[in-house]
Amino acid sequence: MDFQNLLEHHQKLLSYMESNGYSELYISRFRDEIGWILRNAETKQWASYTDIYLEYTHVSHSKDYLRNKRTIIGAIEQFDFYGNYPNGRRRHTLFSRGAYHLLVPEFQELIDFYCEAEKRRGKKDTTIYSESHHAASFLLALQKDGADSLEKVTEEQVISFFVSKEGALIKSCSYKKDIAAVFKAGLAWNKNECGRILCFLPALREIRKNIQYLTVEEISRIRAALDDCGNGLTLRDRAIGMLLMYTGLRSCDVARMTLDAVDWENDRIYIHQQKTETPLELPLSAMAGNAIYDYLSSERPDSCENHLFLSLTRPFTPLDSGSIGNITGKIMKEAGIRQSPGMRKGTHIFRHHVASTLLGNGIPQPVISRTLGHTAPDSLEPYLRADFIHLKECALDISGFPVAGEVFGNG
């Protein structure tokens, strides 16, 4: 393995870390690791950065020590091979993730065939990833149970993946659908075996959870918390809360918003949705617009980063979906609502609020679907169950039916 590039350019990495506020201790760990690699490169004859990490596993070390080594060596690999600087979130690639790389060749071939076939059909990359990931986990479980080829897979093994010995459901109906999608595509690759395993997949009932919708009182308290400049919410938190409240955007799309996503002259928001991979245009309300402006003018760090919402501390990295979810938790806490265990307080509850409010105001369903960025006509169905205003209109009069008095009694 050639380390000439690292030898010539590693000082750029260290200088970047110094100028972006990394601690001297952390920088010294990188400096020491790079020095150790360069000093031993010729004698060790490493073939990859994974080999470098494995040197440390030959001696007894704590899990924390090895985790830190993986992080540092992985970051050096990213810089050496791809010119990527640390950003606080980029994962190392020392080891493959997921179940795929643990599968026998036949199972890997099935996954590969599915991915190629569905890409040609135009299926979304995110869907392909989800379905192939679940199928790989399914195949790995079969493999560990002794079925190292499709021919050896039994119905009992398939059923046990979804249902425990006690009869409890282990995997959901949607999980089964993802696995079925891979084997349906695989019919063109191995019709007999894929068709046989498809017949083994159990018939599971799709379960939809009741959504803990926001009540009128909760909405009022959230708005009060977002307007209260004396509480613990930052201007960034308020801007994100206003966006969620008035647009219903997904957390991933809020996290990916860039500075040019807001058209101030025309009061519009333009994004490219991560989930559906389609563009979305929304009106920019005065409440959300003012909150974003306050954040940009008074709190956002002076950074060349193009993402709208950044961390509050150096190196000022873009937020991810998890960070947006944490912020909604802070908003709920400041509002004094949903603090009991199990109470739903994620970002999707705001999306549900926007949908149910529009439904309650008589907005046509196609308009609501476009506002939420839905691409499938049935995506709005889960929200219909909380449209209590119109559901009450469907109630049947039972006055013509005999009903025992105790049904309506207080006892």
353 part of the active site: no
- Side chain identity at residue 381, one-letter code: E
Is the CB of residue 76 less than 8 Å from the CB of residue 48?
A: no
Query: Which of the residues 31, 124, 184, 348 is marked catalytic?
Result: 348
Q: To which residue do tokens 């101030």 refer?
A: 264
351 a catalytic residue: yes
Out of 221, 351, 352, 353, which one is annotated catalytic? Answer: 351
Q: Among this protein's residues, is 250 annotated catalytic?
A: yes
- Buried b or exposed e, range 227-261, using 16+ CB within 10 angstroms: eeeebebebbbbbbbbbbbbbbbbbebbbbbeeeb
- CA atoms 279, 284, 290, 291: torsion sign: negative
First to last CA, the chain: 81
> Residues 49, 100, 114, 383: which is the catalytic one?
383
Choosing from 221, 256, 338, 374, the catalytic residue is 374
Is 31 annotated in the active site? no
From the list 275, 307, 344, 370, the catalytic residue is: 275
Show the 3-state SS of 238-290. Answer: HHHHHHHHHHCCCHHHHHHCEHHHEECCCCEEEEECCCCCCEEEEECCHHHHH
- Contact between 253 and 319 under an 8 Å Cβ cutoff? The reply is no
Rounded to 10°, the helix 286-298/235-247 angle is: 160
* Catalytic option among 10, 134, 250, 345: 250
In Å, how far are 26, 130, 185, 276 from 117, measured between CA atoms?
46, 15, 7, 19
Which SS3 state, helix, strand or coil, does residue 396 take?
coil
For 369-374, which contacts have Cβ atoms below 8 Å and span 24 or more sequence positions? 371/248, 371/282, 372/248, 373/250, 373/253, 373/273, 373/275, 373/276, 373/278, 373/280, 374/276
Query: Is 114 considered catalytic here?
Result: no
Active site annotation includes 121: no
- Which segments of 308-410 does DSSP mark as H helices, in order? 321-335, 348-360, 365-372, 381-384, 388-393
* Residues catalogued as catalytic: 250, 275, 348, 351, 374, 383
